[in-house]
Amino acid sequence: MNTTCDLTNKQCKPCEGGVPPLTQAEIDTFMQELVGWKQSGIVISKVFDFKNYYPTMAFVNAVAWVSHREDHHPDMTVEYNKCTVAYTTHAIKGLSENDFICAAKVDALLKV
């Protein structure tokens, strides 16, 4: 079953706490649908490499647009020719489906 397409078609749900974070088994299932993302504790992240500064900044702005539309915002580390995108759901101190929805949508930006 390929849920990546399903993830890109989903919308993030508001999360203000009160729900449990995903279990490791659920995280493992979602991680199978993402290419190049790594889990470190309660964070998933991926490094995106670019030729130079301009495409890096275009990518950062595109991620900002996705984040605004989904109302779910990553931490980003921006360098001259790369950007690290990291997701976690702070309100639940863990990972939620929102993190994986946004990760899939960020990956889809580079397939346009």
In this prediction, residues 34-56 reach a mean pLDDT of: 98
Residue 4: pLDDT over 90: no
CA–CA gap between residue 68 and residue 71 (Å, rounded)? 5
CA–CA gap between residue 112 and residue 104 (Å, rounded)? 13
Helix pair angle (53-70, 97-109), 10° resolution: 140
| pLDDT for position 31 | 97
CA–CA gap between residue 58 and residue 87 (Å, rounded)? 19
Domains and CATH numbers, the chain: 4-8+20-109 (3.30.1360.20)
User: Contact 83/56 with Cβ under 8 angstroms?
Assistant: yes
Q: Exposed, middle or buried: residue 97 (CB in 10 Å: 0-12, 13-18, 19+)?
A: middle
Closest to 21 (Cα-Cα) out of 104, 71, 88: 88
- pLDDT band per the 50, 70, 90 thresholds, residue 12: confident
- pLDDT band per the 50, 70, 90 thresholds, residue 3: very low
Among 16-30, 58-72, 93-107, the minimum mean pLDDT is found in: 16-30
